[in-house]
Amino acid sequence: PHPIYLKDYRPPEFLIEQVELRFELDPEHTRVESRLALRRNPAATRGDGSLRLHGEQLTLMQVAIDGHALTPAEYRVDAEGLTMHRVPDRFTLETQVEIHPSLNTALEGLYQSGDMLCTQCEAEGFRRLTYFLDRPDVMARYTTTLVADRTRFPVLLSNGNPVARTDLEDGRHSVTWDDPFPKPSYLFALVAGDLRAVEDSFVTASGREIQLQIFVEPHNLDKCDHAMRSLKKAMRWDEERFGREYDLDIFMIVAVSHFNMGAMENKGLNIFNDKFVLARPDTATDVDFDGIESVIAHEYFHNWTGNRITCRDWFQLSLKEGFTVYRDQEFSADVGSRAVKRISDVRTLRAHQFPEDAGPLAHPVRPESYIEINNFYTTTVYDKGAEVVRMQAALLGPESFRRATDRYFERHDGQAVTTEDFVRCMEDASGRDLTQFRRWYEQAGTPELSIQSKYDATAGTYTLSVRQETAATPGQPVKYPFHIPLTIGLLGAEGQALPVWLAGESAPPAPGTRLLELTERAHEFTLVGLTERPVPSLLRGFSAPVRVRDDLSDADRMFLMAHDSDGFNRWDAAQTLHERLLLALTDDADHPIPEDYIAAFQRALRDPSADRALLAEVLTLPSETYLSDRMTVVDVDGLHRAHRQLTRCIGERLRADLLAVYHDSAETGDYVFSPEAVGRRALKNLALAYLVRAEDGEGLALCRAQFEAAHNMTDVMAALRLLTEQGGAAAEAALDAFHRRWAGESLVLDKWFAVQAAAPRADALTRVMALLHHPDYSARNPNRVRSLVSTFSNLNQVRFHAADGAGYRFLVGQVLELDPANPQLAARLLKPLVRWRRFDPERQRLMRTELERVLGSGELSSDVFEVVSKALA
């Protein structure tokens, strides 16, 4: 497979004005008729007079231009498309093809999920439905007719509005849909099935009534309330915060159980992994409820950021994904707790994006080349892309940023554009020059800020010396300085906010947070008017996606943890304290656990006014995977031992406080999904975890009781996780009971598989391998594969990285088995092996051997080939 380069982008030679599709749907043989109105693109240079359309895995039955069937001499078909040797400047092309949904295990194009048929076209799946110019800068209007058996497929859906329905004499029926908005082919969708809908409506700011429908299999009708509530909240929020109103008269969501990713924003017909739709308090955890709210919002927000304004080419993917993640993050922050949301987003960024940016798959937010676009739906494009939008919002300020997004929506509505067009709107609306800022789109790698401080008591000044440095990444040996917004505050001895007053300014600003801008490799900021040494609160709210190395003492961090007005930085101070101690314990098991460390957390636990959710975050230790990214050579076993040691110590030393918190947080009444209730449950279950992991008798009894008595899945899973970790008869009994109780509930069974895969018990791999043969396991269901295989290899670091390499062999075996069936899934599974250079020489050897085994194993998909070849390069 060959790479595709951004520099090679050329506008399409032909445009498609109108698309008429007719699908005669059947799982075994589906016939697709297409009628395309094509015309030469005046903006493109003329080629050799031929036209090439994309098409894969299609059986061509007929092709005609302006009503005349082509003879075989007039066209050529190969594995990737259809070439017509001579075509007019304007013409109608008709094709007829056959496809086989039931054989489609890649879940790209038209496929079967359970008893239903559905499509997934992003990024390049439309070419598996019919011959087409399957690229996002070809936007067309679609009319789609679906024909299928009336009994098997009573519901037939596509994009836009239904305009005709007919019952046919042969037991089939047909529905025609018309989508008035021009769209790229990747936003096309159809669904056919025996589905039921939960219905509601929404009145837009301008008074239009929109019909809302969530389609599910009949037995899931009682699990859609939360998704519908989330949708209506998101619709209102987008009007209020971004001035964006919904445009069609219907908005539909369909939940399917076989899905490669989270969800898909097809115009007017979002298709979702059912994991991000279905929830009842007894079947879904708080984390699931939260995920549903944000994914529903994310896909809905794409209607403007992605659909009305789309990407010119796939190198611009972050234009829609980075901006839409930013929008869904802001939505969740507004409807929940801003600090807690920021903490969880930064946790994700540090745990996944920072390692990606430091490894062999590092790429810019706007990549320069790719082999397989499906490999570029990455945390860099999504999460760092959102940070890049967030930094622009910070540099512009809220009013100017809103003016800039308004301008973007107005200027580019109906177009396929670039990240450059987005930045230009930011500049035009604010008058700011973002030339240097553009490097965030172009340069890969995480900058590291080194910040040194000096207090001069005589002069009353405090000097911050800041340097930025970014390590080389593949293909980018030299890095130029980034434009970095650095938000800081200063705290006085009583914890009060001090003014951040820069030398040379005539008067101090009001005490509080201030934005400094870094553009050079080194800066010195002299802050004046200080009568005492302040404690600095650096990078408040995580104002830029950077690593920080500072000279604060542990005492400074405990002070910040107690007093910083910035909730994010209170948490970050605590994280750094945990991290430093855990790394010290990893190096030396006898390293003392300081009294003041324990005391600081005891004070936090005893503070009656503390926000429960934030407190739970503060008390949560950084994960072993995250800590491994902080070591030059990962010490897998040392980290695991240190983690257990500190956990046990906290459980023992803070026993009374943890028990008090547990009892204070008892569930009363019905399940409520609110920031307060979620925070209370999080803190309670964290307290329980410390107690159980310290093998506290009372804690263990409480855990067993909670498993028996809890009515909500959050509490049940928290208890089951701890029991499974402990092992023994109680664990087996609980797992059996859980399995019996939830037989047939696929999403709940995913949890049953995952909880066993994550438990760091010595027999974890044996158990995981046995579970591959469990009757409920299916390699054809990505959720199930992820629940077992990905959970083990990503969340059970100590067992996956077992010194004998058995974890690596297991994973590669799974990848090789899956690759022919579902390349997207196989390539994603491989990710934990990509960081092989971070481990000790023997583990490196074992991992490299397994990666080489993949490379040497013959027919690989382009997806897996790209990941492995780059990992080994």
Catalytic residue among 265, 299, 330, 850: 299
Q: Which of residues 276-335 bind Zn ion (CB under 5 A)?
A: 321, 324
**At a CB cut-off of 8 Å and minimum separation 6, what does 256 contact?**
113, 114, 116, 118, 191, 271, 272, 273, 274
377 binds, among ligand HT7, Zn ion, none (CB under 5 to 8 A by kind): ligand HT7
User: What SS3 class is residue 54?
Assistant: strand
Q: Which of residues 120-179 bind ligand HT7 (CB under 6 A)?
A: 120, 122-123
Distance in Å, CB of 486 to ligand HT7, minimum? 30
Q: Based on CB atoms, which residue is closest to Zn ion, 325 or 527? A: 325
Compute how many other C-beta atoms are within 10 angstroms of the C-beta atom of residue 317: 26
Whether the Cβ atoms of residue 327 and residue 555 lie closer than 8 Å to each other: no
Whether the Cβ atoms of residue 143 and residue 19 lie closer than 8 Å to each other: yes
409 binds, among ligand HT7, Zn ion, none (CB under 5 to 8 A by kind): none
261 binds, among Zn ion, ligand HT7, none (CB under 5 to 8 A by kind): ligand HT7
> Contact with ligand HT7 (CB under 6 A): which of 138, 192, 256, 261?
261
Give 498-512 as a DSSP string: E---BTT-SSPPPSS
Q: Based on CB atoms, which residue is closest to Zn ion, 321 or 357? A: 321
Q: Based on CB atoms, which residue is closest to ligand HT7, 387 or 635? A: 387
Distance (Å, whole) CA 52 – CA 35: 16
CA torsion 443→445→446→452, rounded to 10°?
-80
Q: Rule CB under 6 A: is residue 238 a binding residue for ligand HT7? A: no
866 binds, among ligand HT7, Zn ion, none (CB under 5 to 8 A by kind): none
User: What SS3 class is residue 387?
Assistant: helix
CA torsion 327→331→337→339, rounded to 10°?
10
Distance in Å, CB of 348 to ligand HT7, minimum? 15
Identify each DSSP E strand in 357-458 by its residue range: 369-370, 416-417, 448-456
Q: Residue 89 has which token pair?
A: 């400047």
> Contact with ligand HT7 (CB under 6 A): which of 260, 537, 781, 787?
260
Q: Based on CB atoms, which residue is closest to ligand HT7, 134 or 265? A: 265
User: What SS3 class is residue 11?
Assistant: coil
Burial per residue of 613-635, b for 16 or more beta-carbon CB atoms within 10 angstroms, e otherwise? bbbbbbbbbbebbbbbbbbeebb
260 binds, among ligand HT7, Zn ion, none (CB under 5 to 8 A by kind): ligand HT7
Q: Rule CB under 6 A: is residue 274 a binding residue for ligand HT7? A: no
Q: Rule CB under 6 A: is residue 308 a binding residue for ligand HT7? A: no
Closest listed residue to residue 489, CA positions, set 467, 461, 509, 466: 509
Q: Which of residues 312-341 bind ligand HT7 (CB under 6 A)?
A: 321
Q: Based on CB atoms, which residue is closest to ligand HT7, 54 or 838? A: 54
717 binds, among Zn ion, ligand HT7, none (CB under 5 to 8 A by kind): none
Identify each DSSP E strand in 728-856 by its residue range: none
299 assigned to active site: yes
197 binds, among ligand HT7, Zn ion, none (CB under 5 to 8 A by kind): none
> Contact with ligand HT7 (CB under 6 A): which of 133, 139, 248, 264?
264
Residue 467 has φ and ψ, to the nearest 5°, of: -120, 145
Q: Rule CB under 6 A: is residue 265 a binding residue for ligand HT7? A: yes
Q: Based on CB atoms, which residue is closest to ligand HT7, 253 or 713? A: 253
Q: Rule CB under 6 A: is residue 696 a binding residue for ligand HT7? A: no
| CB-based closest residue to ligand HT7 | 261
Q: Based on CB atoms, which residue is closest to Zn ion, 324 or 344? A: 324
Distance in Å, CB of 271 to ligand HT7, minimum? 8
Distance (Å, whole) CA 841 – CA 41: 56
Q: Which stretch binds ligand HT7 (CB under 6 A): 34-42, 116-124, 155-163, 626-634?
A: 116-124
Total residues at interface with Zn ion (CB under 5 A):
2
Q: Based on CB atoms, which residue is closest to ligand HT7, 260 or 665? A: 260
Distance (Å, whole) CA 774 – CA 143: 45
CA torsion 487→493→495→499, rounded to 10°?
-40
User: What SS3 class is residue 484?
Assistant: strand
Q: Rule CB under 6 A: is residue 383 a binding residue for ligand HT7? A: no
Q: Residue 626 has which token pair?
A: 């995250």
Cα dist. 664→608, 680, 687 in Å? 11, 9, 11
Distance in Å, CB of 202 to Zn ion, minimum? 21
Total residues at interface with ligand HT7 (CB under 6 A):
13
Distance in Å, CB of 529 to ligand HT7, minimum? 48
Q: Rule CB under 6 A: is residue 299 a binding residue for ligand HT7? A: yes
Which positions touch Zn ion (CB under 5 A)? 321, 324
Which positions touch ligand HT7 (CB under 6 A)? 120, 122-123, 260-261, 263-265, 298-299, 302, 321, 377
Catalytic site positions: 299
